[in-house]
Chains A and B, each alone.
Chain A
């Protein structure tokens, strides 16, 4: 048994041994990229990372040529690395410069700078006189050649990982705080700019070492996609970082294995795999996925439908209404209407008994507010004449759901506190008439009694004394004139402006 086991491993080693190094290197690249990627995604720096990855080609070429021309050395890794880091910093600096000193915005500046630097590099190495010295394969620069990694690249990556990962762990809180709330960070003494430079330096390091091995596309995808996937799956930064690393590594392995068996380009296969996983997350993520969103939406009942149900029951004038009747009136899918009835019952606005519904006191109050909004909107639409008569009701029906207090108050005031709507139905104002509350005299209706609290010095209303009891009479002049009966029995005719200047307190039983 042990023998066959050993045999199996020897066989494995012989056949697939060449895969071990790429796998180790790939795992390291995936972890480093996807951890740093979380901060990059949250800071909306994804495009900048892409730019650094592309423009470092210039630095690689610079380092290569320098060593070749002056020291006759081929592919000196250190020189190319330093060149790449310099190119990365230069890109960031130029983007910063253009953004700061021109009206061009950052994303545009990034787009211009990195395509420019990248294209210049490609142009430069394709010049006849230069291409004698340098053999850099742009295709491999872009798509990578992970199978061909050697030990020096493995070492480089190990060093980068042992710098970057401890930095993220040690600086976790400063990184989190400067990303989330840089102003507070500054207030408690975190050097915000220094932390940003630190993150940019780490990003450059990760990108530069990664691109040598895995190519631009794979590195950029490893930075952005796993982090974005984790963003859809978690609600906490620490978990996002761990999830991102796991997603990155798993996708790398899966893509790698698939590439080996299908003989496809590993870099491309891995990126395809990651994108697929992201799209899967986009649809199926338990909380932020499209599916979850859809289910949530179909489980909630729109406010409008609940309001329609209330209005429908109100029309029964205090009698209970069979549910079937409600369903007949509201031309919406029956299960959703039933659900709104359940929701209303839960909110204490409806009583449901034996498949019959009845408004509670709260429910009647709410329903009347709706009717008030509806009739005020109808009056408004009628007076403005903006709509043909036959459309008024339907439009008001849509508008009545805009029934926040301020809107309704505005309409009421603008229309001169009308008592009836264009069809002659009373516009209810029970919700306004709160006993003991200070109200404007203008909202009172025929028969309401109140005490005067304040008169704001408008001429005619000076007949009203503070503390005096008054009774509101019926409106005259088509609702334009308020008739107030004083305690002495005197009748005062007041205009809209005048009644708006008087504050009263409503008395009970009116």
Chain B
């Protein structure tokens, strides 16, 4: 594994302590504590409605917890601005919004300018570079609804890249994209990780989780497991979380191909 100057700093990238969030009488998250070290590719997995997105939104400071704290590099998330970039779930975006591909990518630069300031040429250059990286340059002036699912996902990847944040959070980036796009997104995530950044991905597919991530957070309202795929993807934990649907996982637990982990 590539040693990175940034990684020598051992403040955790994200530190969640005793996080409880509720929307009604039933908590969406209950007493979740987890420390995500820097420079790792981390998957958040769990069944539908297990609080994966809620955990992510808390890490972004969008949801105020009932109890608990989220620290980003040792600072409370509400005080942190722009160090976390976010790629939304495709279903939660208004694709009819009057905005072009380039404008979305340029949003990544908003955190670098005061709210009343206009974006500078430099910002658009960086946005264009980010679009180039995800091979979306040819679609710059398209309205975002006029793209295929995979292309839409890549536009938001470009936005995150343009933001050049230390932490990248992605909500179900692989849902509904073709295999080629999945590969392309994964490559960008790997590169981002190798550049010393921390990448956290809400992920649905248990089958690919072991292959994709260094660390896995297994969630179902409570934290059921956190560690390397080998540690987490065992029959016992999975059966606790996914009661009943075990046929698939028996196969999975047999050969998790996680890489040897340094951290």
Contact = CB atoms under 8 A, between A and B. Distances in A.
A173 B84 contact: no
B150 interface: no
Interface stretch (A200-208, A228-236, A272-280, A315-323): A228-236
18 contacts: A170-B116, A171-B115, A173-B115, A176-B99, A179-B97, A180-B99, A183-B57, A184-B60, A186-B61, A187-B61, A187-B82, A187-B85, A189-B82, A192-B62, A234-B98, A235-B100, A235-B143, A236-B100
A190 interface: yes
Contact of B98 (A174, A184, A236): A236
Interface of A: 42, 170-171, 173-174, 176-177, 179-184, 186-190, 192, 231, 234-237, 239-240
Contacts of A236: 98-100, 103
Contacts of A189: 80-82, 111
Contacts of A235: 98-100, 143
Given A170-B116, A187-B60, A181 B82 contact: no
B88 interface: yes
9 shortest A-B CB distances, which residue pairs? A189-B81, A188-B111, A235-B143, A186-B62, A187-B60, A188-B82, A183-B62, A240-B98, A184-B86
A89 to B, nearest CB: 23
Given A42-B97, A187-B60, A237-B103, 12 more contacts: A173-B110, A180-B107, A181-B88, A183-B86, A187-B61, A187-B86, A188-B163, A189-B80, A189-B111, A234-B98, A235-B143, A236-B103
Interface string B233-254: 0000000000000000000000
B115 A237 contact: no
B98 A190 contact: no
* Most B C-beta atoms less than 10 A away, residue of A180, A187, A231: A187
A170 B80 CA distance: 23
Contacts of B113: 173
A187 B100 contact: no
Contacts of B88: 181, 183-184
B110 A237 contact: no
A177 B97 CA distance: 11
Contacts of B111: 188-189
Contacts of A186: 60-62
A49 to B, nearest CB: 19
A280 B54 CA distance: 44
B175 to A, nearest CB: 15
Contacts of B97: 42, 179-180, 237
Q: Is the interface of B mostly helix, strand, loop or mixed?
A: loop
B61 A184 contact: no
Contact of A181 (B61, B80, B93, B98): B93
Contacts of B122: none
* Most B C-beta atoms less than 10 A away, residue of A170, A179, A181, A192: A181
Nearest to B84: A187
B94 interface: yes
Nearest to A234: B98
B62 A187 contact: yes
A99 B82 CA distance: 32
A114 B208 CA distance: 52
A169 B60 CA distance: 27
A360 B191 CA distance: 40
Given A183-B57, A235-B143, A190 B100 contact: no
Contacts of B107: 177, 180-181, 184
B60 A183 contact: yes
Contacts of B143: 235
Contacts of A184: 60, 85-86, 88, 107, 159
B95 to A, nearest CB: 11
* Most A C-beta atoms less than 10 A away, residue of B62, B97, B113, B159: B97
B99 A237 contact: yes
* Most A C-beta atoms less than 10 A away, residue of B82, B99, B111: B99
B207 to A, nearest CB: 14
Contacts of A173: 110, 113, 115
A183 B60 CA distance: 7
A179 B94 CA distance: 10
Nearest to A44: B94
Contacts of A182: 62
Nearest to B59: A187
A176 B119 CA distance: 14
A71 B86 CA distance: 57
A188 B107 CA distance: 10
Nearest to A175: B115
A106 to B, nearest CB: 15
A331 to B, nearest CB: 32
